[in-house]
Amino acid sequence: MKFVLIFGAQAVGKMTVGQELAKITDLTLFHNHMTIDLLEPFYGFTPEMWRLSDLFREEIFKSFSKSDKYGMIFTFVWAFNEKEDWDAVDKMTNIFSSEDSENYFVELEANVEERLKRNKTPNRLEQKPTKRNVEQSEQDLLSTLDTLRLNSHEGEVEKENYIKINNTNLSAEEVAQMIKKEFQL
């Protein structure tokens, strides 16, 4: 089993890279909005929605990690200045490693201008209903620049099987090929 965690700021291209990586490997994509967009219509963006989303994800991770599948790609916005995000990463990767999974860490970064363009792409809006209010999504993206650190400092991620890619000027297909080659997926 392989667990590939793709993380980075909003609209950096995590889901799109995950889609392309799934196409060229036997990995299954589980992007973070699959639970968010399921629960938001019932609960809004409330603490209960986030609690249930975390619970659903954990159960999916536990079940999938015990399966005979090749592996999973999961996307995540990791706030490096928030201890609970570090804990969440440890918790999800421990679920997989407890089942002898190999864990891989892919950090994506892109400049804000590119992220604002990607925030409006048809694929993103089709796959993520809660992002269809583009004005609100853009405001959220910009507001986090002042409060959250969504990319790591040099040497901060001390994980085996880690790669950081600036994908500002790369296609999702190119990034997926880089990941596949780097980790021999």
pLDDT-above-90 percentage for the chain = 99
Mean residue pLDDT across the chain: 96
pLDDT band of 35, cuts 50, 70, 90: very high
What is the pTM for the complete model shown?
A: 0.95
Q: Which helix (H) or strand (E) holds 5?
A: strand 2-7
> Any bridge partners for residue 6, and if so which?
75, 106
Q: How far is residue 45's CA from residue 47's CA, in Å, rounded to a whole number?
A: 7
Give how many domains the chain has, as a whole number: 1
- What angle separates helix 33-43 from helix 47-65, to the nearest 10 degrees? 140
Which residues form the domain of 135? 2-179
Residue 22: its pLDDT value, please? 98
Q: Which helix (H) or strand (E) holds 137?
A: helix 134-147
Cα separations (Å) of 180 from 2, 21, 26, 79?
A: 12, 7, 11, 25
pLDDT band of 23, cuts 50, 70, 90: very high
> Any bridge partners for residue 102, and if so which?
2
The predicted model gives 5-15 an average pLDDT of: 98
Domain membership of residue 78 (yes or no) is yes
Residue 34: its pLDDT value, please? 95
Residues 125-180 have pLDDT tens digits of 999 998 999 999 999 999 999 999 999 999 999 999 999 999 999 999 999 999 99
CATH number of the domain within which 66 lies: 3.40.50.300
Domain membership of residue 69 (yes or no) is yes
Please report, as a single letter, which amino acid is at residue 156.
Answer: E
Query: From start to end of 63-171, where are the E strands?
Result: 71-76, 102-109, 162-166
Residues 98-118 have pLDDT tens digits of 999 999 999 999 999 999 999
Residue 21 CB: number of other CB atoms within 10 A?
Answer: 25
Domain membership of residue 184 (yes or no) is no
Domain membership of residue 166 (yes or no) is yes
